[in-house]
Amino acid sequence: MPAQAHNPPGLSMPAGYSHITIVPAGRQVHVSGQVALDAAREIVGRGDLAAQAEQVYDNIEAALAGAGARLTDVFKVVTYVVDLTPEKAAVVRAVRNRRLGAGPYPAATMVGVTGLVDPAFLIEVEVIATLD
């Protein structure tokens, strides 16, 4: 049985994520934080948050495929953005929501950070998906 997204009464209606995701017993895949590196370990989109977000989601798709999962199997997303602002959050949400499809969306958290492992990285995303 796939994960089920819920937005219970009494909480604001979210845009692009769900407040609760219920996952029945089963196997999960935890994908480490992905950054804007291509397969050749080259940084994609230096200085361009949208381009980096696209590469990050390309990497997440590849990682999930390696485990037999797809983006539609993701039930939790954690996004780290350097020097997060409302404008940067909108850029990230646009890429994330387009890549995740029409929903229902997974539970999600976005965190502003002062930096990532390499100063050229603007975003890092980790996900958890269900395999059953």
What whole-number distance in Å separates Cα of residue 6 and Cα of residue 106?
9
C-alpha count within 13 angstroms, C-beta hemisphere, residue 63: 22
Per-residue pLDDT in tens (0 to 9) along the chain, 132 residues: 677 777 778 777 877 777 777 777 788 888 999 999 999 999 999 999 999 999 999 999 999 999 999 999 999 999 999 999 999 999 999 999 999 988 889 999 999 999 999 999 999 999 999 987
Amino acid 24: pLDDT: 73
Q: Pairing mode, if any, of strands 123-130 and 28-34? A: antiparallel
Residue 8 is which amino acid?
A: P
For residue 9, give Cα distances in angstroms to 6, 12, 13, 20, 102.
10, 8, 9, 12, 21
pTM over 0.85: yes
Residue with tokens 């990532």: 116
H/E segment holding residue 79: strand 74-82
Amino acid 129: pLDDT: 92
Which has the closest alpha carbon to 33: 70, 99, 80, 100?
80
